[in-house]
A and B are shown apart, each in its own frame.
Chain A
Protein backbone atom coordinates (compact mmCIF):
# COMPACT_ATOMS: atom_id res chain seq x y z
CA UNK A 1 0.00 0.00 0.00
CA UNK A 2 1.50 3.30 -1.03
CA UNK A 3 0.29 6.83 -0.69
CA UNK A 4 0.88 8.64 -3.95
CA UNK A 5 3.05 11.72 -3.90
CA UNK A 6 0.12 13.97 -4.78
CA UNK A 7 -2.07 12.79 -1.95
CA UNK A 8 0.88 12.62 0.43
CA UNK A 9 1.77 16.27 -0.03
CA UNK A 10 -1.82 17.44 0.14
CA UNK A 11 -2.32 15.57 3.40
CA UNK A 12 0.79 17.18 4.76
CA UNK A 13 -0.56 20.57 3.75
CA UNK A 14 -3.90 19.87 5.42
CA UNK A 15 -2.07 18.79 8.58
CA UNK A 16 -0.03 21.98 8.56
CA UNK A 17 -3.09 24.18 8.15
CA UNK A 18 -4.89 22.26 10.89
CA UNK A 19 -1.87 22.75 13.12
CA UNK A 20 -1.91 26.52 12.53
CA UNK A 21 -5.63 26.66 13.26
CA UNK A 22 -5.00 24.77 16.42
CA UNK A 23 -2.31 27.22 17.48
CA UNK A 24 -4.64 30.13 16.71
CA UNK A 25 -7.39 28.54 18.78
CA UNK A 26 -4.99 28.18 21.65
CA UNK A 27 -4.40 31.93 21.97
CA UNK A 28 -8.03 32.96 22.04
CA UNK A 29 -10.17 30.70 24.15
CA UNK A 30 -13.28 28.56 24.05
CA UNK A 31 -14.21 29.56 20.48
CA UNK A 32 -14.58 26.83 17.84
CA UNK A 33 -14.32 24.19 20.50
CA UNK A 34 -15.08 21.30 18.16
CA UNK A 35 -11.75 21.60 16.38
CA UNK A 36 -8.50 20.44 17.79
CA UNK A 37 -7.71 19.04 21.20
CA UNK A 38 -10.76 20.25 23.07
CA UNK A 39 -11.92 18.63 26.28
CA UNK A 40 -15.36 17.91 27.66
CA UNK A 41 -15.21 21.13 29.69
CA UNK A 42 -15.01 23.28 26.52
CA UNK A 43 -17.55 21.09 24.78
CA UNK A 44 -16.97 19.26 21.52
CA UNK A 45 -19.55 21.20 19.55
CA UNK A 46 -21.97 19.51 17.20
CA UNK A 47 -21.83 15.77 16.76
CA UNK A 48 -22.74 14.09 13.50
CA UNK A 49 -22.93 10.33 13.17
CA UNK A 50 -23.41 8.53 9.86
CA UNK A 51 -25.60 5.48 10.41
CA UNK A 52 -25.32 2.44 8.17
CA UNK A 53 -29.03 1.90 7.59
CA UNK A 54 -32.47 3.49 7.93
CA UNK A 55 -33.35 4.55 11.45
CA UNK A 56 -34.81 1.30 12.73
CA UNK A 57 -34.08 -0.59 15.94
CA UNK A 58 -30.61 -1.39 14.60
CA UNK A 59 -29.62 1.91 16.25
CA UNK A 60 -31.60 1.49 19.48
CA UNK A 61 -28.47 2.35 21.47
CA UNK A 62 -27.84 5.58 19.58
CA UNK A 63 -31.50 6.59 20.03
CA UNK A 64 -31.23 5.88 23.76
CA UNK A 65 -28.01 7.87 24.09
CA UNK A 66 -29.57 10.81 22.26
CA UNK A 67 -32.98 10.80 23.96
CA UNK A 68 -31.49 10.36 27.42
CA UNK A 69 -28.96 13.10 26.81
CA UNK A 70 -25.82 10.97 27.08
CA UNK A 71 -24.23 12.70 24.08
CA UNK A 72 -24.91 16.11 25.67
CA UNK A 73 -23.55 14.92 29.03
CA UNK A 74 -20.43 13.79 27.24
CA UNK A 75 -19.91 17.33 25.92
CA UNK A 76 -21.63 17.50 22.53
CA UNK A 77 -23.88 20.52 21.97
CA UNK A 78 -26.19 18.81 19.50
CA UNK A 79 -26.54 15.45 17.80
CA UNK A 80 -27.19 14.78 14.14
CA UNK A 81 -27.86 11.13 13.27
CA UNK A 82 -27.56 10.75 9.49
CA UNK A 83 -29.63 8.07 7.79
CA UNK A 84 -27.93 5.37 5.71
CA UNK A 85 -27.13 3.42 3.79
CA UNK A 86 -24.56 5.51 1.96
CA UNK A 87 -20.83 5.17 1.46
CA UNK A 88 -20.24 5.72 5.19
CA UNK A 89 -16.45 5.57 4.84
CA UNK A 90 -16.50 8.35 2.28
CA UNK A 91 -18.76 10.52 4.44
CA UNK A 92 -16.50 10.19 7.48
CA UNK A 93 -13.18 10.38 5.63
CA UNK A 94 -14.21 13.57 3.82
CA UNK A 95 -15.32 15.18 7.06
CA UNK A 96 -19.08 15.20 6.43
CA UNK A 97 -19.62 13.29 9.69
CA UNK A 98 -17.50 12.88 12.82
CA UNK A 99 -18.16 9.20 13.27
CA UNK A 100 -19.65 6.48 11.15
CA UNK A 101 -21.09 3.03 11.68
CA UNK A 102 -20.00 0.43 9.17
CA UNK A 103 -18.43 -3.01 9.20
CA UNK A 104 -14.89 -4.33 9.13
CA UNK A 105 -15.04 -5.45 5.49
CA UNK A 106 -16.29 -2.13 4.19
CA UNK A 107 -13.92 -0.01 6.26
CA UNK A 108 -10.97 -2.27 5.47
CA UNK A 109 -11.79 -1.96 1.75
CA UNK A 110 -11.64 1.82 1.97
CA UNK A 111 -8.38 1.73 3.91
CA UNK A 112 -6.69 -0.94 1.80
CA UNK A 113 -7.97 0.05 -1.64
CA UNK A 114 -7.97 3.83 -1.50
CA UNK A 115 -5.80 4.77 1.51
CA UNK A 116 -8.71 6.28 3.44
CA UNK A 117 -7.31 7.58 6.76
CA UNK A 118 -9.81 5.71 8.97
CA UNK A 119 -9.72 3.43 12.00
CA UNK A 120 -12.26 1.31 13.82
CA UNK A 121 -12.29 2.40 17.48
CA UNK A 122 -14.98 0.12 18.86
CA UNK A 123 -17.94 -1.95 17.75
CA UNK A 124 -21.59 -2.41 18.52
CA UNK A 125 -21.98 -5.84 16.90
CA UNK A 126 -19.34 -8.38 17.86
CA UNK A 127 -20.59 -10.63 15.09
CA UNK A 128 -21.69 -9.49 11.67
CA UNK A 129 -25.39 -10.08 11.01
CA UNK A 130 -24.98 -11.11 7.36
CA UNK A 131 -26.85 -14.28 6.46
CA UNK A 132 -28.11 -16.26 3.53
CA UNK A 133 -31.81 -16.17 4.17
CA UNK A 134 -33.95 -18.91 2.63
CA UNK A 135 -37.36 -20.47 3.12
CA UNK A 136 -37.70 -23.89 4.72
CA UNK A 137 -40.05 -24.98 1.92
CA UNK A 138 -37.88 -23.27 -0.70
CA UNK A 139 -34.08 -23.10 -0.88
CA UNK A 140 -33.75 -24.50 2.68
CA UNK A 141 -30.08 -23.51 2.82
CA UNK A 142 -28.74 -24.80 6.14
CA UNK A 143 -25.10 -25.47 5.30
CA UNK A 144 -22.73 -23.81 2.85
CA UNK A 145 -22.90 -26.96 0.71
CA UNK A 146 -26.65 -26.36 0.29
CA UNK A 147 -25.75 -23.25 -1.73
CA UNK A 148 -24.61 -25.40 -4.65
CA UNK A 149 -26.99 -25.21 -7.58
CA UNK A 150 -29.11 -22.51 -5.94
CA UNK A 151 -30.17 -19.10 -7.18
CA UNK A 152 -29.00 -16.50 -4.68
CA UNK A 153 -30.01 -12.84 -4.70
CA UNK A 154 -26.98 -10.67 -3.98
CA UNK A 155 -26.84 -6.88 -3.74
CA UNK A 156 -23.97 -5.45 -5.80
CA UNK A 157 -22.27 -3.92 -2.74
CA UNK A 158 -22.25 -7.36 -1.09
CA UNK A 159 -21.03 -9.25 -4.13
CA UNK A 160 -17.44 -9.57 -2.95
CA UNK A 161 -18.62 -10.50 0.52
CA UNK A 162 -20.77 -13.28 -0.90
CA UNK A 163 -17.88 -14.53 -3.01
CA UNK A 164 -15.75 -14.53 0.16
CA UNK A 165 -18.35 -16.76 1.84
CA UNK A 166 -18.09 -19.17 -1.07
CA UNK A 167 -14.29 -19.07 -0.92
CA UNK A 168 -14.25 -19.59 2.85
CA UNK A 169 -16.26 -22.77 2.35
CA UNK A 170 -14.47 -24.08 -0.71
CA UNK A 171 -17.41 -23.63 -3.07
CA UNK A 172 -16.71 -22.77 -6.68
CA UNK A 173 -18.40 -19.56 -7.89
CA UNK A 174 -19.70 -21.38 -10.96
CA UNK A 175 -21.70 -23.78 -8.80
CA UNK A 176 -23.98 -21.01 -7.55
CA UNK A 177 -26.22 -18.79 -9.65
CA UNK A 178 -25.87 -15.18 -8.50
CA UNK A 179 -28.83 -12.94 -9.29
CA UNK A 180 -28.64 -9.18 -8.78
CA UNK A 181 -31.17 -8.19 -6.15
CA UNK A 182 -31.79 -5.29 -3.83
CA UNK A 183 -32.73 -5.72 -0.19
CA UNK A 184 -36.32 -6.36 -1.26
CA UNK A 185 -37.52 -9.68 0.17
CA UNK A 186 -40.38 -10.10 -2.34
CA UNK A 187 -38.36 -12.17 -4.87
CA UNK A 188 -37.48 -14.57 -2.06
CA UNK A 189 -41.07 -14.84 -0.83
CA UNK A 190 -42.26 -15.31 -4.43
CA UNK A 191 -39.63 -18.05 -4.82
CA UNK A 192 -37.98 -16.36 -7.80
CA UNK A 193 -34.74 -16.85 -5.88
CA UNK A 194 -33.72 -19.59 -3.44
CA UNK A 195 -31.73 -17.44 -1.07
CA UNK A 196 -30.97 -13.79 -0.32
CA UNK A 197 -28.01 -12.05 1.29
CA UNK A 198 -29.69 -10.40 4.27
CA UNK A 199 -29.35 -9.31 7.89
CA UNK A 200 -30.22 -11.97 10.42
CA UNK A 201 -31.63 -9.16 12.58
CA UNK A 202 -33.66 -7.47 9.87
CA UNK A 203 -34.85 -9.19 6.70
CA UNK A 204 -34.92 -12.59 8.39
CA UNK A 205 -37.34 -11.30 11.01
CA UNK A 206 -39.31 -9.42 8.39
CA UNK A 207 -39.91 -12.54 6.30
CA UNK A 208 -40.67 -14.59 9.42
CA UNK A 209 -43.17 -11.90 10.37
CA UNK A 210 -44.89 -12.41 7.00
CA UNK A 211 -45.62 -15.96 8.11
CA UNK A 212 -42.80 -17.85 6.40
CA UNK A 213 -40.69 -20.57 7.93
CA UNK A 214 -37.18 -19.17 7.46
CA UNK A 215 -33.70 -20.70 7.44
CA UNK A 216 -30.53 -18.70 8.11
CA UNK A 217 -26.94 -19.39 7.12
CA UNK A 218 -25.04 -16.73 9.12
CA UNK A 219 -21.74 -15.62 7.57
CA UNK A 220 -20.18 -15.24 11.05
CA UNK A 221 -20.71 -18.94 11.85
CA UNK A 222 -19.52 -20.11 8.44
CA UNK A 223 -15.97 -18.93 8.09
CA UNK A 224 -16.51 -15.17 7.93
CA UNK A 225 -16.55 -13.65 11.42
CA UNK A 226 -16.05 -9.88 11.53
CA UNK A 227 -17.40 -6.94 13.48
CA UNK A 228 -20.28 -4.81 12.21
CA UNK A 229 -21.96 -1.57 13.23
CA UNK A 230 -18.39 -0.79 14.13
CA UNK A 231 -17.50 2.80 14.98
CA UNK A 232 -14.98 4.44 12.70
CA UNK A 233 -13.43 7.86 12.63
CA UNK A 234 -10.49 9.55 10.96
CA UNK A 235 -6.86 9.24 12.01
CA UNK A 236 -6.88 12.99 12.44
CA UNK A 237 -9.72 12.91 14.97
CA UNK A 238 -7.99 10.14 16.90
CA UNK A 239 -4.74 12.07 16.97
CA UNK A 240 -6.06 15.59 17.55
CA UNK A 241 -9.22 14.98 19.56
CA UNK A 242 -8.83 11.73 21.47
CA UNK A 243 -11.11 13.07 24.20
CA UNK A 244 -13.87 13.59 21.68
CA UNK A 245 -13.60 9.97 20.58
CA UNK A 246 -13.69 8.80 24.17
CA UNK A 247 -16.68 11.02 24.93
CA UNK A 248 -18.55 9.59 21.95
CA UNK A 249 -17.74 6.01 22.95
CA UNK A 250 -18.82 6.68 26.52
CA UNK A 251 -22.23 7.95 25.40
CA UNK A 252 -22.56 5.03 22.98
CA UNK A 253 -21.78 2.46 25.65
CA UNK A 254 -24.30 4.02 28.03
CA UNK A 255 -26.91 4.13 25.26
CA UNK A 256 -26.40 0.50 24.31
CA UNK A 257 -26.46 -0.65 27.92
CA UNK A 258 -29.88 0.96 28.19
CA UNK A 259 -31.00 -0.41 24.83
CA UNK A 260 -30.16 -3.95 25.89
CA UNK A 261 -31.79 -3.65 29.30
CA UNK A 262 -34.92 -1.93 27.96
CA UNK A 263 -35.52 -3.71 24.64
CA UNK A 264 -39.03 -2.40 24.14
CA UNK A 265 -37.98 1.16 24.96
CA UNK A 266 -35.31 1.10 22.26
CA UNK A 267 -37.68 -0.36 19.69
CA UNK A 268 -40.33 2.22 20.53
CA UNK A 269 -37.85 5.06 20.05
CA UNK A 270 -37.23 3.72 16.55
CA UNK A 271 -40.90 3.31 15.66
CA UNK A 272 -42.38 6.40 17.33
CA UNK A 273 -39.60 8.98 17.20
CA UNK A 274 -36.50 8.51 15.08
CA UNK A 275 -37.91 6.32 12.34
CA UNK A 276 -41.49 7.55 12.32
CA UNK A 277 -41.20 8.94 8.78
CA UNK A 278 -39.98 5.70 7.28
CA UNK A 279 -42.17 4.32 4.53
CA UNK A 280 -43.36 1.55 4.73
CA UNK A 281 -43.72 2.25 8.47
CA UNK A 282 -41.74 0.19 10.96
CA UNK A 283 -43.71 -2.51 12.75
CA UNK A 284 -43.23 -2.39 16.53
CA UNK A 285 -43.42 -6.15 16.96
CA UNK A 286 -40.65 -6.78 14.43
CA UNK A 287 -38.52 -3.95 15.83
CA UNK A 288 -38.79 -5.40 19.35
CA UNK A 289 -37.79 -8.79 18.00
CA UNK A 290 -34.86 -7.20 16.18
CA UNK A 291 -33.72 -5.24 19.23
CA UNK A 292 -33.88 -8.42 21.31
CA UNK A 293 -32.05 -10.55 18.76
CA UNK A 294 -29.25 -8.07 18.21
CA UNK A 295 -28.58 -7.69 21.94
CA UNK A 296 -28.70 -11.45 22.58
CA UNK A 297 -26.65 -12.59 19.61
CA UNK A 298 -24.55 -9.69 18.37
CA UNK A 299 -23.96 -6.90 20.88
CA UNK A 300 -23.36 -8.98 24.01
CA UNK A 301 -21.15 -12.05 24.21
CA UNK A 302 -18.79 -13.65 26.76
CA UNK A 303 -16.02 -11.22 25.88
CA UNK A 304 -18.13 -8.09 26.26
CA UNK A 305 -19.46 -9.51 29.55
CA UNK A 306 -15.87 -9.65 30.75
CA UNK A 307 -14.38 -6.58 29.04
CA UNK A 308 -17.34 -4.29 28.42
CA UNK A 309 -19.54 -3.39 25.43
CA UNK A 310 -17.82 -2.07 22.27
CA UNK A 311 -14.53 -3.77 23.11
CA UNK A 312 -12.86 -6.03 20.54
CA UNK A 313 -10.45 -8.60 21.93
CA UNK A 314 -7.12 -9.29 20.28
CA UNK A 315 -8.35 -12.75 19.35
CA UNK A 316 -11.43 -11.23 17.70
CA UNK A 317 -9.24 -8.76 15.82
CA UNK A 318 -7.12 -11.66 14.55
CA UNK A 319 -10.31 -13.42 13.36
CA UNK A 320 -11.39 -10.23 11.60
CA UNK A 321 -8.08 -9.93 9.78
CA UNK A 322 -8.34 -13.56 8.72
CA UNK A 323 -11.87 -13.06 7.37
CA UNK A 324 -10.70 -9.99 5.49
CA UNK A 325 -7.94 -12.02 3.90
CA UNK A 326 -10.54 -14.54 2.73
CA UNK A 327 -12.44 -11.62 1.21
CA UNK A 328 -9.28 -10.61 -0.66
CA UNK A 329 -8.37 -7.65 1.56
CA UNK A 330 -4.81 -7.71 2.86
CA UNK A 331 -4.51 -5.43 5.84
CA UNK A 332 -2.56 -5.31 9.11
CA UNK A 333 -4.56 -5.13 12.34
CA UNK A 334 -2.90 -1.83 13.29
CA UNK A 335 -3.98 -0.23 10.01
CA UNK A 336 -7.64 -0.97 10.71
CA UNK A 337 -8.20 -1.15 14.48
CA UNK A 338 -7.21 1.35 17.14
CA UNK A 339 -8.61 0.19 20.46
CA UNK A 340 -6.30 2.33 22.58
CA UNK A 341 -8.83 5.09 23.28
CA UNK A 342 -11.55 2.66 24.34
CA UNK A 343 -9.07 0.86 26.59
CA UNK A 344 -8.09 4.21 28.10
CA UNK A 345 -11.72 5.18 28.62
CA UNK A 346 -12.56 1.93 30.37
CA UNK A 347 -9.50 2.31 32.61
CA UNK A 348 -10.63 5.82 33.59
CA UNK A 349 -14.25 4.83 34.03
CA UNK A 350 -14.31 1.11 34.87
CA UNK A 351 -18.01 1.33 35.73
CA UNK A 352 -18.75 1.55 31.97
CA UNK A 353 -17.46 -1.99 31.49
CA UNK A 354 -19.79 -3.41 34.08
CA UNK A 355 -23.06 -4.93 32.94
Chain B
Protein backbone atom coordinates (compact mmCIF):
# COMPACT_ATOMS: atom_id res chain seq x y z
CA UNK B 1 0.00 0.00 0.00
CA UNK B 2 1.39 3.40 -0.92
CA UNK B 3 2.14 6.00 1.70
CA UNK B 4 -0.50 8.34 0.25
CA UNK B 5 -3.15 5.68 0.57
CA UNK B 6 -2.10 4.97 4.16
CA UNK B 7 -2.64 8.61 5.13
CA UNK B 8 -5.49 9.26 2.71
CA UNK B 9 -7.90 6.64 3.91
CA UNK B 10 -8.07 7.68 7.56
CA UNK B 11 -8.41 11.31 6.44
CA UNK B 12 -11.33 10.35 4.25
CA UNK B 13 -12.80 8.42 7.17
CA UNK B 14 -12.39 11.45 9.40
CA UNK B 15 -14.15 13.73 6.92
CA UNK B 16 -17.00 11.25 6.65
CA UNK B 17 -17.33 10.85 10.43
CA UNK B 18 -17.39 14.61 10.95
CA UNK B 19 -19.93 15.19 8.21
CA UNK B 20 -22.17 12.46 9.61
CA UNK B 21 -21.86 13.84 13.14
CA UNK B 22 -22.76 17.38 12.08
CA UNK B 23 -25.73 16.10 10.04
CA UNK B 24 -26.95 14.01 12.98
CA UNK B 25 -26.53 17.04 15.24
CA UNK B 26 -28.75 19.26 13.04
CA UNK B 27 -31.28 16.47 12.65
CA UNK B 28 -31.50 15.75 16.38
CA UNK B 29 -31.88 19.38 17.37
CA UNK B 30 -34.54 20.12 14.77
CA UNK B 31 -36.47 16.85 15.08
CA UNK B 32 -36.61 16.36 18.85
CA UNK B 33 -38.08 19.80 19.51
CA UNK B 34 -35.99 20.44 22.61
CA UNK B 35 -36.14 24.12 23.56
CA UNK B 36 -33.64 26.27 21.69
CA UNK B 37 -32.80 27.87 25.01
CA UNK B 38 -30.79 24.78 25.88
CA UNK B 39 -29.64 23.46 22.50
CA UNK B 40 -26.83 24.85 20.40
CA UNK B 41 -26.00 24.27 16.75
CA UNK B 42 -22.54 23.91 15.19
CA UNK B 43 -22.44 27.59 14.20
CA UNK B 44 -23.15 28.59 17.84
CA UNK B 45 -20.18 26.55 19.01
CA UNK B 46 -17.95 28.03 16.32
CA UNK B 47 -19.16 31.47 17.33
CA UNK B 48 -18.47 30.81 21.00
CA UNK B 49 -14.98 29.53 20.34
CA UNK B 50 -13.86 31.75 17.46
CA UNK B 51 -15.92 34.76 16.41
CA UNK B 52 -17.49 36.14 19.61
CA UNK B 53 -15.98 39.06 21.48
CA UNK B 54 -14.80 36.83 24.35
CA UNK B 55 -13.81 33.99 22.05
CA UNK B 56 -10.19 34.04 23.20
CA UNK B 57 -11.18 33.70 26.83
CA UNK B 58 -13.79 31.04 26.04
CA UNK B 59 -11.23 29.10 24.05
CA UNK B 60 -8.63 29.15 26.79
CA UNK B 61 -11.22 27.91 29.32
CA UNK B 62 -12.40 25.07 27.10
CA UNK B 63 -8.91 24.09 25.96
CA UNK B 64 -7.57 24.30 29.52
CA UNK B 65 -10.18 21.78 30.63
CA UNK B 66 -9.51 19.65 27.56
CA UNK B 67 -5.78 19.63 28.31
CA UNK B 68 -6.38 18.23 31.78
CA UNK B 69 -8.76 15.61 30.40
CA UNK B 70 -6.15 14.56 27.84
CA UNK B 71 -3.60 14.14 30.63
CA UNK B 72 -6.14 12.11 32.62
CA UNK B 73 -7.04 10.01 29.59
CA UNK B 74 -3.34 9.56 28.83
CA UNK B 75 -2.75 8.23 32.32
CA UNK B 76 -5.63 5.79 31.97
CA UNK B 77 -4.60 4.78 28.47
CA UNK B 78 -1.01 4.03 29.54
CA UNK B 79 -2.08 2.33 32.78
CA UNK B 80 -4.76 0.21 31.12
CA UNK B 81 -2.67 -0.89 28.15
CA UNK B 82 0.41 -1.64 30.27
CA UNK B 83 -1.56 -3.78 32.70
CA UNK B 84 -3.41 -5.45 29.82
CA UNK B 85 -0.18 -6.33 28.00
CA UNK B 86 1.49 -7.65 31.14
CA UNK B 87 -1.56 -9.68 32.12
CA UNK B 88 -2.03 -11.06 28.60
CA UNK B 89 1.64 -12.07 28.48
CA UNK B 90 1.41 -13.73 31.87
CA UNK B 91 -1.75 -15.52 30.81
CA UNK B 92 -0.05 -16.94 27.74
CA UNK B 93 3.04 -18.00 29.69
CA UNK B 94 1.24 -19.51 32.68
CA UNK B 95 -2.21 -21.01 32.30
CA UNK B 96 -3.00 -20.54 36.01
CA UNK B 97 -2.83 -16.77 35.75
CA UNK B 98 -5.82 -16.70 33.43
CA UNK B 99 -7.95 -18.78 35.79
CA UNK B 100 -6.91 -16.54 38.67
CA UNK B 101 -7.37 -13.14 37.07
CA UNK B 102 -10.15 -13.42 34.48
CA UNK B 103 -13.02 -13.77 36.99
CA UNK B 104 -11.72 -10.75 38.86
CA UNK B 105 -11.40 -8.72 35.66
CA UNK B 106 -14.91 -9.80 34.67
CA UNK B 107 -16.33 -8.69 38.01
CA UNK B 108 -14.69 -5.27 37.79
CA UNK B 109 -15.86 -4.98 34.22
CA UNK B 110 -19.46 -6.02 34.90
CA UNK B 111 -20.08 -3.46 37.64
CA UNK B 112 -20.82 -0.10 36.04
CA UNK B 113 -17.92 2.26 36.60
CA UNK B 114 -20.21 4.91 38.02
CA UNK B 115 -21.25 2.48 40.74
CA UNK B 116 -17.68 1.44 41.37
CA UNK B 117 -16.38 5.00 41.48
CA UNK B 118 -17.23 5.86 45.09
CA UNK B 119 -15.36 2.75 46.24
CA UNK B 120 -12.36 3.67 44.11
CA UNK B 121 -12.29 7.22 45.49
CA UNK B 122 -12.45 5.82 49.02
CA UNK B 123 -9.50 3.51 48.29
CA UNK B 124 -7.37 5.81 46.17
CA UNK B 125 -8.46 9.32 47.19
CA UNK B 126 -9.48 11.75 44.49
CA UNK B 127 -6.21 12.46 42.76
CA UNK B 128 -3.85 10.84 40.28
CA UNK B 129 -4.49 7.22 41.31
CA UNK B 130 -8.23 7.59 41.12
CA UNK B 131 -7.94 8.78 37.52
CA UNK B 132 -5.43 6.11 36.61
CA UNK B 133 -7.54 3.31 38.08
CA UNK B 134 -10.92 4.43 36.73
CA UNK B 135 -9.76 5.32 33.26
CA UNK B 136 -7.53 2.23 33.28
CA UNK B 137 -10.45 -0.09 34.06
CA UNK B 138 -12.31 1.08 30.97
CA UNK B 139 -9.25 0.42 28.83
CA UNK B 140 -8.15 -2.81 30.48
CA UNK B 141 -10.81 -5.34 29.58
CA UNK B 142 -11.16 -4.95 25.81
CA UNK B 143 -7.40 -4.51 25.51
CA UNK B 144 -6.73 -7.62 27.57
CA UNK B 145 -9.08 -9.80 25.53
CA UNK B 146 -7.71 -8.51 22.24
CA UNK B 147 -4.05 -8.80 23.14
CA UNK B 148 -4.44 -12.26 24.70
CA UNK B 149 -6.24 -13.41 21.56
CA UNK B 150 -3.42 -12.04 19.43
CA UNK B 151 -0.70 -13.69 21.49
CA UNK B 152 -2.50 -17.05 21.27
CA UNK B 153 -2.85 -16.95 17.52
CA UNK B 154 0.71 -18.27 17.08
CA UNK B 155 0.47 -21.44 15.01
CA UNK B 156 1.96 -24.66 16.45
CA UNK B 157 4.29 -24.87 13.44
CA UNK B 158 5.80 -21.47 14.22
CA UNK B 159 6.20 -22.42 17.85
CA UNK B 160 7.89 -25.69 16.80
CA UNK B 161 10.39 -23.85 14.61
CA UNK B 162 11.55 -21.73 17.54
CA UNK B 163 11.65 -24.71 19.91
CA UNK B 164 13.58 -26.87 17.44
CA UNK B 165 16.26 -24.20 17.30
CA UNK B 166 16.50 -24.36 21.09
CA UNK B 167 14.33 -21.33 21.89
CA UNK B 168 12.49 -21.03 25.20
CA UNK B 169 8.84 -20.07 25.57
CA UNK B 170 10.09 -16.53 26.21
CA UNK B 171 11.73 -16.62 22.76
CA UNK B 172 8.47 -17.85 21.22
CA UNK B 173 6.76 -14.88 22.78
CA UNK B 174 9.34 -12.34 21.73
CA UNK B 175 10.09 -13.51 18.20
CA UNK B 176 6.74 -14.91 17.13
CA UNK B 177 3.85 -14.11 19.43
CA UNK B 178 4.28 -10.34 19.75
CA UNK B 179 4.74 -9.73 16.02
CA UNK B 180 1.79 -12.03 15.30
CA UNK B 181 -0.28 -10.17 17.85
CA UNK B 182 0.49 -6.74 16.39
CA UNK B 183 -2.85 -6.34 14.57
CA UNK B 184 -4.67 -7.30 17.78
CA UNK B 185 -2.54 -4.94 19.86
CA UNK B 186 -3.33 -2.10 17.49
CA UNK B 187 -7.01 -2.97 17.53
CA UNK B 188 -6.78 -2.75 21.31
CA UNK B 189 -5.04 0.61 21.09
CA UNK B 190 -7.66 1.97 18.72
CA UNK B 191 -10.63 1.12 20.91
CA UNK B 192 -8.70 2.22 23.99
CA UNK B 193 -8.50 5.84 22.84
CA UNK B 194 -12.20 6.68 23.24
CA UNK B 195 -12.37 4.27 26.20
CA UNK B 196 -9.65 6.13 28.06
CA UNK B 197 -11.40 9.45 27.47
CA UNK B 198 -14.71 8.06 28.74
CA UNK B 199 -12.98 6.72 31.83
CA UNK B 200 -11.22 10.02 32.42
CA UNK B 201 -14.50 11.96 32.15
CA UNK B 202 -16.14 9.74 34.76
CA UNK B 203 -13.12 9.93 37.06
CA UNK B 204 -13.05 13.72 36.78
CA UNK B 205 -16.54 13.91 38.18
CA UNK B 206 -15.02 12.73 41.45
CA UNK B 207 -11.84 14.77 41.39
CA UNK B 208 -11.30 18.47 41.79
CA UNK B 209 -9.11 19.61 38.92
CA UNK B 210 -10.40 21.85 36.14
CA UNK B 211 -11.24 19.32 33.46
CA UNK B 212 -13.92 18.55 30.93
CA UNK B 213 -15.68 16.10 33.28
CA UNK B 214 -15.89 18.81 35.92
CA UNK B 215 -16.57 21.73 33.60
CA UNK B 216 -19.52 19.95 31.98
CA UNK B 217 -21.09 19.68 35.40
CA UNK B 218 -20.45 23.24 36.52
CA UNK B 219 -21.40 24.82 33.20
CA UNK B 220 -24.68 22.94 33.38
CA UNK B 221 -25.31 24.35 36.85
CA UNK B 222 -24.56 27.87 35.66
CA UNK B 223 -26.59 27.54 32.46
CA UNK B 224 -23.47 28.08 30.33
CA UNK B 225 -24.87 26.07 27.46
CA UNK B 226 -22.42 27.57 24.96
CA UNK B 227 -19.56 26.26 27.03
CA UNK B 228 -21.29 22.95 27.64
CA UNK B 229 -21.81 22.24 23.95
CA UNK B 230 -18.31 23.44 23.10
CA UNK B 231 -16.82 21.07 25.66
CA UNK B 232 -18.77 18.16 24.22
CA UNK B 233 -17.68 19.08 20.71
CA UNK B 234 -13.97 19.38 21.49
CA UNK B 235 -13.85 16.18 23.52
CA UNK B 236 -15.64 14.30 20.74
CA UNK B 237 -13.30 15.75 18.14
CA UNK B 238 -10.25 14.78 20.15
CA UNK B 239 -11.63 11.29 20.56
CA UNK B 240 -12.19 10.88 16.83
CA UNK B 241 -8.81 12.34 15.94
CA UNK B 242 -7.09 10.14 18.54
CA UNK B 243 -8.75 7.09 17.03
CA UNK B 244 -7.58 8.19 13.60
CA UNK B 245 -4.00 8.67 14.78
CA UNK B 246 -4.03 5.18 16.27
CA UNK B 247 -5.27 3.91 12.91
CA UNK B 248 -2.48 5.76 11.10
CA UNK B 249 0.17 4.36 13.41
CA UNK B 250 -1.32 0.93 12.87
CA UNK B 251 -1.17 1.24 9.08
CA UNK B 252 2.46 2.37 9.13
CA UNK B 253 3.67 -0.30 11.53
CA UNK B 254 1.75 -3.14 9.92
CA UNK B 255 2.91 -2.06 6.47
CA UNK B 256 6.47 -2.30 7.78
CA UNK B 257 5.83 -5.79 9.15
CA UNK B 258 4.18 -6.70 5.85
CA UNK B 259 0.86 -7.55 7.45
CA UNK B 260 -1.30 -5.06 5.59
CA UNK B 261 -4.21 -3.43 7.36
CA UNK B 262 -6.60 -6.35 7.56
CA UNK B 263 -8.17 -6.13 10.98
CA UNK B 264 -7.59 -9.06 13.33
Contact A6 B41 (CB under 8 A): yes
Q: With A and B bound together, what is the CA distance between A109 and B222 in angstroms?
A: 5
The answer to whether A109 touches B223, judged by C-beta atoms less than 8 angstroms apart, is yes
Residues of chain A in range 88-123 having any CB-CB distance to chain B below 8 Å: 89-90, 93-94, 106, 109-110, 113-116
Residue of B nearest to A111 (CB): B223
For chain B, residues 198 to 243, give those with C-beta under 8 angstroms from any C-beta of chain A: 205-208, 214, 217-218, 220-226
Measured between beta carbons, the chain B residues less than 8 angstroms from A87 are 220, 223
Residues of chain B contacted by A106 (CB below 8 angstroms): 221, 223
Would A114 and B223 count as touching, CB distance under 8 A? yes
Query: Does A27 reach chain B (CB closer than 8 Å)?
Result: no
- Among A129-137, A152-160, A344-352, the stretch that binds chain B is A152-160
B30-38, B73-81, B106-114, B177-185: which lies at the interface: B30-38
Given the interface pairs A110-B223, A180-B208, the reply to whether A10 lies near B36 with Cβ below 8 Å is: yes
Query: CB of A210 within 8 A of chain B?
Result: no
Size class of the A contact interface (CB-based, 8 Å):
20 to 34
A111 to B225, CA, bound (A): 12
- CB within 8 Å for A114 and B208 given contacts A6-B41, A7-B36, A156-B214: no
Q: Are B223 and A89 in contact (CB under 8 A)?
A: yes
Q: How many residues of B contact A (CB 8 A)?
A: 22
B44's nearest neighbour on chain A, judged by CB, is A4
Which B residues are CB-close (under 8 A) to A180? 126, 205-208
A55 to B208, CA, bound (A): 31
List which B30-57 residues lie within 8 A (CB) of chain A. 35-38, 41, 44, 47
Contact B37 A116, beta carbon cutoff 8 Å: yes
A291 touches B (CB below 8 Å):
no
A113→B223 contact, CB < 8 A: yes
B128 to chain A, nearest CB (A): 15
CA distance A118 to B218 in the complex (A): 21
**Which residues of chain B are near A10, meaning CB under 8 Å?**
36
12 other A-B residue contacts (CB within 8 Å) besides A109-B222, A114-B38: A6-B44, A10-B36, A87-B220, A90-B35, A90-B223, A113-B222, A113-B223, A113-B224, A115-B37, A157-B217, A160-B221, A179-B208
